[in-house]
Structure 1
Amino acid sequence: MKDLVNKFYKNHALVYKVLLFIVTTFLIVYLFPKSGKFKYDFEKGKPWQSETLYAPFDFAIQKTPKELEEEKNQIETTTIKYFNLDPDIKGNVLNKYYKSFDKVFPDSIYTSKNEIKNFGKDLIEKLYEYGVTNEDELIANKSTVTILKDRVEVGKTDFSNIYRQSQVKPKIDEEIKKNNFEEYSKPLSILFFNIIEPNLTYNKALSDTALQERLSSISHTRGSIEKETLIISKGEIVEGNKFLILSSLESEYESQVWNESNYNLILFAYTLLVALALLMLLLFLRKYRLEVFNNNTKVTFIFFNIFLMVLLTTLIVNYDSKYIYIVPLAILPLVLKAFFDARLGLFTHVITVLLLGFIVPNSYEYMFLQILAGIVTILTVSELYKRANLFISVGQITLVYIIAYFAFFLIHEGSMETLKWDTFGLFVLCGLATLFVQPLIYIYEKFFGLVSDVSLLELSDTNSKLLKKLSNEAPGTFHHSLNVANLAEAAANEIGANAMLIRVGALYHDIGKMKNPTYFTENQSSGLNPHDELSPKESATVIIDHVIKGIEIAKKNNLPDRVIDFIRTHHGDSSVYYFYMKEKAKDENVDIADFSYPGPKPFSKETAILMMCDSVEAASKSLKEPTSTKINDFVENILNKQMDDGQFLNANITFKEIQAIKKVLKRKLANIYHLRIEYPE
């Protein structure tokens, strides 16, 4: 058991990657649409590109959504509506009319009283011929109305024959005018307003039941296709009934393929494809980006971004697939290039787009546009910390989207008449969303502990608190660091290394000297050397400790690990040779390990360049009457000695690149010492 625990502990990083791989795979598969995928691609109005197609099984021809909606609307406007009749209301209204009439129309005033009375009686009969209802919210339509009395049908009529409460007063006014009783309009209106009441109550439960019965009887199909029936021939135009049949076959195929019997099998196939894609990414990291592969935080960061893009795209597709291009997928290569490099960013982007091909409609068009946008992103975005560069790159990405989409539209439609201009607006919104990459990078830096060029730019500010302290407490070291930064930046640009990173590393590589600044020659201005009072071993310890103290100061000030690497490696495991030889003169058995830096050796191009530039710049102060020949020999000797000591064995730097760095250092030193070309005598 103990051996198993030890083995697990030794391989915990690999175990974590396996778990991350499995979890990410299942999360992505979970987001995939739960339906089969039709193996043929077709578009309305375009030729059938695949082989001649025969029906693989019996299936029904589905009605279009428009047809189903029209049929539903037709049923809703014609379905029978049920009303309950209160038979006592009409009699009550007539009784009230007779009682109130004499009060409103006294004999002494109105000479045509009987005529008016008969008019009122006839009007009430007309209103209650089919009935009055208070259901004003019911919209008049072509429905038939069934009138029920004690749940027994007593009559049928059109819905338009029933008077709603809001229609009563206009009907009364109309009849008064029609019979020339305008002079009695006011008393008649008041009379009828007080006595007319509805006698029909809408039976919503029964009406809704009748409506649902008819809606449920709607057939979603119209006709069927038998197995082995010719559906479409190669080259035939997909239109009309052919398009409907193919759409029905696609729908039937997807519903038949994705059923309980083979659900797990198809899910397994999806899992295999996603796992293969993510495995390719891991293999790429292991072969070409081993430093990233060995860092679980960085691998987690990459997988998290892939899953985030899949999640965002899935949410948009589920909401409305026409907004698919609003997802700022170009953020992915932007972020990865900011933290890693262009090649890794593009490779990850392509893998992500391949995964999204399972989710989005028109997958080929989508993948073409997104891969093209990813390539443009990688090619155009440089020095992300410069805001203008980001705006220019986003503009170029948006333009590529628009041009590519326009070309695809012309291919599909053959004309510009039906061009959807709002899609171009989606691309503009996508571009604006891509600008969110700047705050997103900051969030990622804090959450994952990564460092981008934006942070490096902030750290390179010589007015920062730590560098100001260095310039005040160890001005000579600060000046030395600036010179090393200039040399290292030029060398990095020559061989394509990260110039911004190496400049920041150079500025901070000697901050440990702030603890005992006067023990380093560049800070000794009084002519007194404190090493005169120390033994060689003690002096060596003070010199070597500036690396350890530098790491402590850097961590206390929250400098990123990538910057601390320069402090840790800028002397490698070399020795403090001067004090070693001084001690050796006293004691032949001295151990050189006591006079050596703890290391490690440089393990990247950038840290190797810093070691070269630091040694050359520091030693160049000892040059007397420098000439081109002296500088050439001087640079060659220092760098060759470092190579002989194996200081660059762990760094991925080539002999060719070292030769290029030598040339840069020689040229820079010649410029520093203002040397002229030596002409032959």
Structure 2
Amino acid sequence: MNQQQSSFKDKFQYTAGGWKYSATARFLLFFLFWLLFYFSFSDKLIPQTYDIQLNAPSEKMILAPKQVEDERASLKAQETAAQSVEPVNTFVSLKNENLVNSLYDKLEQLNSDTQVTLEEKVDIYRRELPLKREEFLNAFLRASSASTLYSATLLEEVQKQAAEQEYRFPEESFFKLPRLTKEDLKAMRPVTIDVVTELMSDRRPDAQAARAQVAELVNTSNLTKNTQRKMVTEIARFVLTPNVFFDKQATEEARAQARENTPPVLIKKGEVLVEKGQIITKEQYDLLDSMELLKDKVNYMPQLGLIVLVTLMVLLLVMYIMQRSTAVRDNNAKLLMLVLIFILNFLSMKIVAMGQSAELPYLAYLAPVALGAMLITLLLDVPLAFLSSVLFSTGAAIIFNQTGDTLFDYRYGFVALMVCFSAIFALHRASQRSTILKAGVMVCLVGSASVVALNLLSDEYNLRTMLQSISVAVGSGLLTAVLVIGLMPFFEVTFGILSALKLVELSNPNHPLLRKLLTETPGTYHHSVMVGNLSEAAAEAIGANGLLCRVGSFYHDIGKTKRPSYFIENQSNIENPHDHIDPKLSKSIIIAHARDGVEMLKDHKIPKPIWEIAEQHHGTTLLKYFYHKAQKQYEEEGKEPSELQEADFRYPGPKAQSKEAAVVGIADCVEAAVRSLRNPTVEQIESMVQKIIKNRLDDHQFNECDLTLKELDKIAITLKETLLGIFHSRIEYPEDLTKGVKKGES
């Protein structure tokens, strides 16, 4: 019947706790990581699509998923800016005074020729003067074209306007020109040059306006003859041309420059593209199409990219845990706790991101990103916290990205990485809850310094924005510390995690149970302290949790406080009550202290790893003294000693399930055995330690924990060295080592 009950109990425990070591459960937990990363990043990296029909009402309000350029509006704005540019008119100096000199040279030459008749001279002037003007203009155009001073289109405009605004000599003037004497021409030339130069010095898009001013200028000259004044007026009018021309190329360049200088019309992230119920126009439909927001034109490349990104992040986490973090690898409960920490951290970032906007981008610094790094440091593993910090910073760079131009905004990732690393360094080897507050202050300082650096490096440096960012970063550090302090008990109780902080708290001598142990059983208290020193050193030698062994040792014999006088370490100056009672009763009293201790520890809400040490530190070892005493009593009473069952004098167990419980059990037995020696020698201590470990090994007490023979050797060596240090002042050295040494010397 007992075997059936034991089998059922073992089966139930395996079924209930089997998931902790199940490969399937581990795979599902890593898949949960994958889902967490995917859904945390998808809204930032994959644009949402909508089922939209042209000329139909929209069922939803559609917001811009990122900041993009409105190409239609930008083109319209550019054209408006280009059309607002006035036509460019370029001033072109034709040097008309050269034409004046050329005409007067011809007049002087022909008028002085007496062999040419008046009628012939009239015909020559009628024919030659327009040719002179044409030749002058063509020469200018050729020279300007060769020098590339003016554009071809401008020169074409010059030729066109000069032809359109050409002045025709009155017919009667051709008859007057031959009659001008050499003296007349000599007087007229400088006046004509002065008039033309003065009029052409101003910008003259219309030659006719300039010609209207010629008569007035000529009348104010020093010419006395009426004929001279009339002919100077006609020659000047004939020579005058427009000097300001429409420059098509310059105008196009100015308009192109205006288009280029026109800033693009941007659709900001979160801006309403379509109101709910609004009829979708062709322009809006094209805009949604260009932003890849239409469901029938989904781009699957971002989804594929996100899947690869998330898979790489999870693979990095998996490879590290499977190769480095044995505590998480071998216990799915701790892996589940890691998942919950990641969920909390990403959830806090998503909540803060909901309040972030283009006007308040620095609000992202409020996110308690260091929360996850601090919890992993305190509850799991420091190296794992560093790796997790890298993943948290990557997540922050994606979640808080507001630009839409890039996939990551690593300003936020940089700040997240700095605060996470600083928190880990501040919490390393933490021994008090106040250390969490100190870590929070460190997060405040490092976060503020990081924000200051980023603001000073920014092109858009603003003192007000920097101060606001610093205040938000300080708030993040304080919020992180408060959340860690509040969440630590939840994880410790839910997952049975004994953090270093909790263990240090439990080791406080003012704890009610330890105070009870000290006042009611001072011998047991001293024994527990000694066992704590021995077990901590031995556990650290094999890589086990030394602090857990020390604190577990403090509480392992707490059950003795129910019947303190029945235990030898508390029997100072009193008679041993076991001398007068039946050995079976003595056995029951001794064995009961482990069970009583577990009940007391559970009543005081002491964490499971501690009361497991109290329950398992004796395993199923035999109470040899009372067993042999009972055998002797059977012989005296004439009974057959073989009728006595050895199993009745064994502790009920269970055997040690962890290295820590096994180490405390060995240290407990060793300390009690060595204390029983009056003046222990080095050889006695070494022999005693080896004998106790061998007896427990032969008794199969280590079968249910993963202690190796190599680790047992390390435990034996460490216990011997620690005991030699404790009992150094009263160890009796072997005879061969003490020859010549006087009594009392060491």
- TM-score normalised by L of structure 2: 0.54
Instruction: For residues 219-266 of structure 1, give each alpha carbon's deviation from its aligned partner in whole angstroms, at most 9, with x where no partner exists.
Output: xxxxxxxxxxxxxxxxxxxx9889989999xx9899317846548996
The equivalent position to 2:533 in structure 1, one of 479, 482, 486, is 486
Shift of 1:560: 1.0
| Counterpart AA for 2:353 | V
Name which of structure 1's ranges 509-518 and 307-316 shifts more when overlaid on structure 2.
509-518
Amino acid corresponding to residue 345 of structure 2 in structure 1 = M
Aligned-residue CA RMSD (Å): 4.7
The corresponding residue for 2:346 is: 310
Aligned with 2:654 (options 600, 606, 629): 600
Tell me by how many angstroms 1:426 deviates.
3.5
Task: Provide the rounded CA distance (Å) in 1 between the counterparts of 2:644 and 2:666.
Answer: 27
Displacement after TM superposition at 1:379 (Å): 3.6
**In structure 2, the residue corresponding to 1:34 is in which secondary structure?**
helix
Pairs within 5 Å for 1:139-538:
255-256=291-292, 259=295, 262=298, 270=306, 274=310, 277=313, 298-320=334-356, 321-361=361-401, 362-386=408-432, 389-398=435-444, 400-401=446-447, 420=466, 422-436=468-482, 437-445=484-492, 450-492=497-539, 497-538=544-585
- Aligned AA for 1:630? Q
Separation of aligned partners in 2, 1:440 and 1:331: 10
When structure 1 is superposed on structure 2, of 608-617 and 345-354 the one drifting more is 345-354
Distance 1:428 1:489 in 2: 39
SS of the residue aligned with 1:575?
Answer: coil
How far apart in 2 are the matches of 1:10 and 1:607? 19
Letter paired with 1:331? L
Counting matched residue pairs gives 484
Q: Does the Cα contact within 8 Å between 2:70 and 2:267 map onto a contact in 1?
A: no
Question: How much does 1:315 deviate?
Answer: 1.9
Report the alpha carbon displacement of residue 643 of structure 1 after superposing the two structures with TM: 4.0
Per-residue deviation, 1:342: 1.9
More displaced 10-residue stretch of structure 1: 288-297 or 428-437: 288-297
The equivalent of 1:571 in structure 2 is 618
Counterparts of 2:630 and 2:37, CA distance in 1 = 64
Q: Residue type of the partner of 2:557? A: D
The match for 1:669 is 723
**Does the CA-based 8 Å contact 2:631-2:644 persist in structure 1?**
yes
Question: Any stretches of 5+ residues in structure 2 without a counterpart?
Answer: 1-11, 48-67, 82-259, 270-286, 402-407, 636-640, 740-746
Question: What's 1:609 paired with?
Answer: 663
Give the AA of the match of 1:512: G
Aligned residue for 1:634? Answer: 688
Match of 1:34 in 2: 43
Q: Distance in 2 between matches of 1:285 and 1:533?
A: 59
Q: Distance in 2 between matches of 1:508 and 1:637?
A: 26
Aligned to 1:558: 605
Matched, 1:542 2:589: yes
Q: Deviations over 1:280-334 (max 9, x none)?
A: 6577667766765676654443322211211111122221142222212222122
**Alpha-carbon offset, residue 520 of structure 1:** 1.9
Counterparts of 2:543 and 2:654, CA distance in 1: 24
Amino acid at match of 1:619: A
User: How far apart are the structure 2 equivalents of 1:443 and 1:572?
Assistant: 31
Counterpart residue type for residue 371 of structure 2 = I
- Shift of the 417–457 alpha-carbon distance from structure 1 to 2, 3 Å rule, reads closer
Amino acid at match of 1:565: E
Letter of the 2:350 counterpart: T
**Counterpart of 1:611 in structure 2: which amino acid?**
G
Change (3 A) 1:267 1:538: farther
User: Which letter maps to 1:615?
Assistant: C
Which structure has greater helix proportion? 2
Deviations 1:68-122 (A, max 9, x none): 9xx9xxxxxxxxxxxxxxxxxxxxxxxxxxxxxxxxxxxxxxxxxxxxxxxxxxx
Tell me the amino acid that sits aligned with residue 315 of structure 1.
Answer: I
2:52 match: none
1:11/1:632 CA distance change after superposition, 3 Å: closer
Distance 1:533 1:291, change over 3 A: farther
SS in structure 1 of the partner of residue 383 of structure 2: helix
The more displaced of 15-24 and 643-652 is 15-24
Q: Deviations over 1:154-213 (max 9, x none)?
A: xxxxxxxxxxxxxxxxxxxxxxxxxxxxxxxxxxxxxxxxxxxxxxxxxxxxxxxxxxxx
Kindly state the Cα deviation for residue 357 of structure 1 after the two structures are TM-superposed: 4.8
How far does residue 508 in structure 1 lie from its aligned partner after superposition? 0.9
For residues 281 and 329 of structure 1, what CA distance do their matches in structure 2 show?
18
**CA pair 390-36 structure 1, distance change in 2 beyond 3 A:** closer
Q: How far, CA to CA, are the matches of 2:294 and 2:45 in structure 1?
A: 5
| 2:45/2:306 contact within 8 Å kept | no
User: Considering only CA atoms, is the larger Rg found in Structure 1 or Structure 2?
Assistant: 2
Q: Tell whether the 8 Å contact from 1:328 to 1:433 is kept in structure 2 after alignment.
A: yes
Distance 1:644 1:446, change over 3 A: closer
Worse-matched range after superposition: 607-616 or 251-260? 251-260
Return the alpha-carbon distance in structure 2 between the equivalents of residues 414 and 643 of structure 1: 72
Alignment of 1:117-132 (within 5 A): none
Output the CA distance in 2 between the equivalents of 1:12 and 1:604. Answer: 19
User: 1:437-482 deviations in whole A, cap 9, x for unaligned?
Assistant: 2233235445665433333333222232222333344332222112
CA distance in 2, matches of 1:288, 1:578: 46
SS of equivalent residue, structure 1 residue 386: coil
The C-alpha deviation readout for 1:31-88, integer Å capped at 9, x for no partner, is: 54535459xxxxxxxxxxxxxxxxxxx9953769xx99xx9xxxxxxxxxxxxxxxxx
Asked if structure 2 preserves the Cα contact closer than 8 Å seen for 1:62 and 1:245, the reply is no
Distance, in Å, in 2 between the alignment partners of 1:396 and 1:472 is 42
Q: Partners of 2:674 and 2:560 in 1: how far apart?
A: 19
Contact 2:352 2:363 in 1 (8 A): yes
Distance 1:509 1:253 in 2: 72
Cα 1:241–1:504 change in 2 (3 A) is farther
Distance 2:704 2:387 in 1: 26
Alignment of 1:63-74 (within 5 A): none
Identity of aligned residues (%): 30
- Bigger mean CA deviation after superposition, 239-248 or 272-281: 239-248
Deviation at 1:506, TM superposition (A): 1.0
Q: Counterpart of 1:306 in structure 2: which amino acid? A: F
In 2, Cα distance between the equivalents of 1:255 and 1:581?
90
**Structure-2 change in CA distance of 1:374 and 1:580 (3 Å):** farther
Cα distance in 1 for partners of 2:682, 2:569 equals 24
SS state at 2:292 partner:
helix
Distance in structure 2 (CA, Å) of the matches to 1:278 and 1:293: 14
Indicate yes or no: 2:68 matched with 1:61.
no
Separation in 2, partners of 1:275, 1:621:
59
Q: C-alpha distance in 2, partners of 1:278/1:628? A: 54
CA contact (8 A) 1:326 1:429 kept: yes
Structure 1: any 5+ residue segments left out of the alignment? 1-5, 39-57, 72-238
Task: Compare 505-514 and 299-308 and name the one that shifted more.
Answer: 299-308
Q: What is the CA distance between 1:352 and its match in structure 2?
A: 4.2
- Tell me, in whole angstroms, the C-alpha distance in 1 between the residues paired with 2:363 and 2:648: 67
Go from structure 1 to structure 2 and tell me whether the alpha carbon gap of 1:474 and 1:368 turns closer, same or farther (over 3 Å shift): same
Q: 1:12-51 counterparts in 2 under 5 A?
A: 26=35, 29-34=38-43, 36=45
542-551 vs 12-21, which deviates more? Answer: 12-21
Contact 1:33 1:359 in 2 (8 A): no
SS at match of 1:328: coil
